[in-house]
Amino acid sequence: KNEVEQSPQNLTAQEGEFITINCSYSVGISALHWLQQHPGGGIVSLFMLSSGKKKHGRLIATINIQEKHSSLHITASHPRDSAVYICAVRTGNQFYFGTGTSLTVIP
């Protein structure tokens, strides 16, 4: 049983395209995180959300608590956005992670 489901698993886009990655979860949460894992393996925290919407540069993250769903959008995608994007939910002091969406942006 997966507490966190992401879609799609793999995504290939042309440079400049608008990208959406989806995350659904089945547990009550105190916060949802979006993480980026680079091809070299390092992980960077992109957003932490408990409601509404956040924007950082070309990245936008939204969450709908009632529907238990979050989306990560990338506008004007660029090859340097190629990475694995991971959704994680925090319930109490525990974390549950999605298996990630592997994004490749082609020039």
Partner 1 sequence: EAQVTQNPRYLITVTGKKLTVTCSQNMNHEYMSWYRQDPGLGLRQIYYSMNVEVTDKGDVPEGYKVSRKEKRNFPLILESPSPNQTSLYFCASSLNPGIHGYTFGSGTRLTVV
Residues 46-65 that bind partner 1 (CB under 8 A): 47-48
Shortest separation between residue 68's beta carbon and partner 1, angstroms: 18
Stretch that binds partner 1, among 21-29, 41-49, 58-66, 72-80 (CB under 8 A): 41-49
The CA distance from 55 to 68, in Å, is 20
Contact 34, 14 (CB under 8 A): no
- Give me the residues that bind partner 1 (CB under 8 A), please: 30-31, 33, 35, 41-45, 47-48, 86, 88, 90, 93-100
